[in-house]
């Protein structure tokens, strides 16, 4: 999966012949799973039509401060909203004229207004003739823009519109995509980290038909895995039976059924990981003897002798070296005190406390309300959020552990 998947991208197009390449560029962004909005300078529409780009991006194309057909209604394109919407902004082609405006803060069209309002990373791909590309003012503008924090996507060598051959061709769309992916990946905060995550319930067999289980859907663990992968981590996701799916090349899913299978799978990888997050709802007990045939209904009462399962989280804590260890606690009473005891008993660095007393939290829901408690017993209650947002909060704790 591309690191561009899900990213909101503003593509600014200025008036150069290389603008014709932006149709392919938009198509590649969409293919990578990105959301694209296009802003064109008036001059760029001489080289490619807004209709082409709106069709490919599946969004209206913006080029003026107001929609001309709605001029009497005063409808305008809010440059601040556009700028705040984006995860990143790319100006391609960036002509000599547009580069000069960017470097000097000249705001005479919608694209420049959005650029000056942008809070996100800005990339620019120059396109101009050889002598223009080598001119001292152009070089000075490159320097100024990079000092502002913008990122240059270098032009390529090749045949130019003038008939000359040399440096100044806008990078090919495929190369722009590759540049952005490599640059974004290099800046991901968890790149190079390996994270083990458990998710879902475990099923403990009574006989070939029946089992002891719980209502865990696995969604919380899967959301944590996806959030970790999106931050660059390599993820091993050990999951009990669940309908949850995840598709990301950085996530290896290991399906298991029982607590013993989860224990074994986890300990194949635990020694090599940087972080372990135990989000699974593992059965505390299992039948001591499993019937080989279906147990027939023969008596009014039926007793199953149970024995303890191996405590996966406690074994993580006992064998911890440099791992950052996060556990979960689902409580119904004395929540804080029970969670603190669990931190001490299992040698955790952080616990994520859920209370079934909180509306919107617990099994089978799309939301969760958690409280963070660290090993120093610092308590941080969080608001009710989607499980995706909770996953991001948990991974922010991981990032803080490594970088703060």
Distance CA 92, CA 83 (A): 16
Distance CA 274, CA 194 (A): 5
Is the previous residue joined to 93 through a cis bond, with omega within 30 degrees of 0?
yes
Dig out the tokens for 63 from the structure. 């080029």
Q: What is the 3-state secondary structure (H, E, C) of 14-26?
A: CCCHHHHHHHHHH
Catalytic residue of the set 59, 77, 175, 214: 214
Dig out the tokens for 89 from the structure. 């902004």
Query: Catalytic residue at 214?
Result: yes
CA angle at residue 32 from 81 to 23, to 5 degrees?
Answer: 75
Distance CA 242, CA 200 (A): 6
In sequence order, which residues have a C-beta less than 8 Å from that of residue 90 and are 6 or more positions away? 9, 10, 11, 12, 122, 123, 124, 125, 176, 180
Dig out the tokens for 298 from the structure. 């023969």
Residue 171, CB half-sphere, CA atoms under 13 Å: how many?
21
In sequence order, which residues have a C-beta less than 8 Å from that of residue 133 and are 6 or more positions away? 126, 155, 166, 167, 168
Name the residues annotated as catalytic. 214
């Amino acid at each position: 999966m591309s690191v561009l998947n899900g990213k909101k991208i503003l593509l600014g197009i200025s008036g150069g012949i290389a603008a014709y390449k932006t149709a392919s560029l938009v198509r590649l962004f969409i293919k990578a799973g990105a959301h694209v909005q296009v802003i064109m300078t008036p001059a760029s529409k001489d080289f490619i039509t807004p209709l082409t780009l709106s069709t490919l991006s599946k969004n209206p194309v913006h080029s003026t401060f107001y929609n001309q057909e709605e001029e009497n209604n005063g409808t305008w394109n809010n440059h601040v909203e556009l700028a705040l919407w984006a995860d990143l902004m790319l100006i391609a082609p960036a002509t000599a004229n547009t580069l000069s405006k960017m470097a000097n803060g000249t705001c005479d069209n919608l694209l420049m207004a959005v650029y000056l309002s942008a809070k996100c990373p800005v990339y620019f791909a120059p396109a101009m003739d050889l002598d223009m590309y080598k001119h001292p003012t152009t070089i000075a503008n490159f320097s100024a823009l990079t000092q502002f924090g913008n990122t240059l996507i270098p032009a390529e060598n090749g045949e130019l519109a003038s008939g000359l051959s040399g440096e100044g061709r806008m990078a090919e769309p495929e190369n722009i995509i590759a540049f952005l992916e490599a640059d974004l990946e290099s800046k991901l905060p968890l790149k190079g980290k390996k994270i083990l995550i458990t998710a879902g319930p475990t099923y403990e067999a009574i006989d070939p038909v029946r089992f002891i289980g719980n209502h865990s859907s696995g969604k919380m663990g899967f959301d944590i895995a996806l959030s970790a992968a999106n931050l660059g981590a390599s993820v091993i996701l050990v999951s009990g039976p669940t309908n949850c799916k995840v598709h990301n090349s950085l996530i290896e899913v290991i399906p298991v059924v029982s607590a013993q299978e989860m224990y074994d799978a986890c300990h194949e990888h635990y020694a090599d990981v940087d972080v372990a997050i135990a989000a699974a709802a593992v059965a505390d007990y299992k039948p001591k003897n499993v019937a080989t045939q279906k147990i027939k209904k023969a008596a009014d009462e039926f007793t199953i002798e149970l024995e303890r399962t191996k405590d996966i989280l406690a074994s993580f804590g006992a064998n911890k070296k440099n791992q950052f260890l996060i556990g979960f606690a689902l409580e119904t009473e004395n929540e804080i005190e029970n969670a603190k005891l669990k931190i001490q008993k299992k040698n955790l660095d952080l616990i994520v406390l859920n209370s079934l007393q909180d509306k919107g939290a617990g099994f089978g829901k799309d939301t969760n309300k958690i409280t963070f408690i660290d090993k120093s017993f610092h308590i941080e209650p969080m608001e009710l959020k989607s499980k995706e947002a909770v996953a991001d909060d948990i991974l922010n704790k991981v990032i803080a552990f490594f970088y703060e």
